[in-house]
Amino acid sequence: MNASRQYTAHQQSSAYDSPWTFGMRLRLQAWEWCWTLFCRWTPKPLNPWRLCWLRLFGAKITGQPFVHSRARIAHPWNLTMRDRACLGDGAHAYTLGPIELGEACTIAQEAYLCSATHDLSVPERPLLTAPIVIKANAFVGLRAIVLPGVTVGEGAIVGAGAVVTRDVAPGSVVGGNPARPLPSPSAASGQPASSS
């Protein structure tokens, strides 16, 4: 857990107690049933239908983002998606806290955006949440993990399998565990960067 981040602590009387009210748990059950019954089997062209269900459950959607039928979204009311944002096949938005996907960003196959952790310094181990923000035109690669409180800057690239524990600067490329800066694709290939 990064102590410098602003976390929201959720009250729990013990490590085995749920931080959610009974009403919230019913809402979560309704969401899981609806996504399974009405969305998980749908082909790609039925994206507007999936977006409709996300909106019904409180997701904040602008424009026409894309959500794959096999994507997983924990609490849709904590999800914000901008126009042309993409949540890919098997990607998991673990939205116990807010997650915002900026315009035209891509969350690739089986990537995991985790907005929650636990305070392991006390016996109750309460749930802690912190927002994740993926800015416009950023790319989060296959099976990468983005941890709570992280912002991935505009146009940044997170390599496949990376574990992102801190903010990623706009336009940068990171990879590894923990993720560290890497040469940009154009620098690595010896090609000049675009001037546009």
Catalytic residues: 118
Judge residue 14's burial from the number of C-beta atoms within 10 Å of its C-beta, 0-12 exposed, 13-18 middle, 19 or more buried: exposed
Q: How many CB atoms lie within 10 A of CB 22?
A: 8
Q: Do residues 50 and 30 touch, judged by C-beta distance below 8 A?
A: no
Phi first, then psi: what are they for 2, rounded to 5°?
A: -85, 110
CA distances from 2 to 5, 105, 145 (A): 6, 25, 15
Q: Do residues 120 and 100 touch, judged by C-beta distance below 8 A?
A: no
E strands, the chain, where?
8-9, 60-61, 66-67, 72-73, 79-81, 86-87, 92-94, 99-101, 106-107, 112-114, 116-118, 127-129, 132-134, 139-140, 145-146, 151-152, 157-158, 163-164, 173-175, 180-182
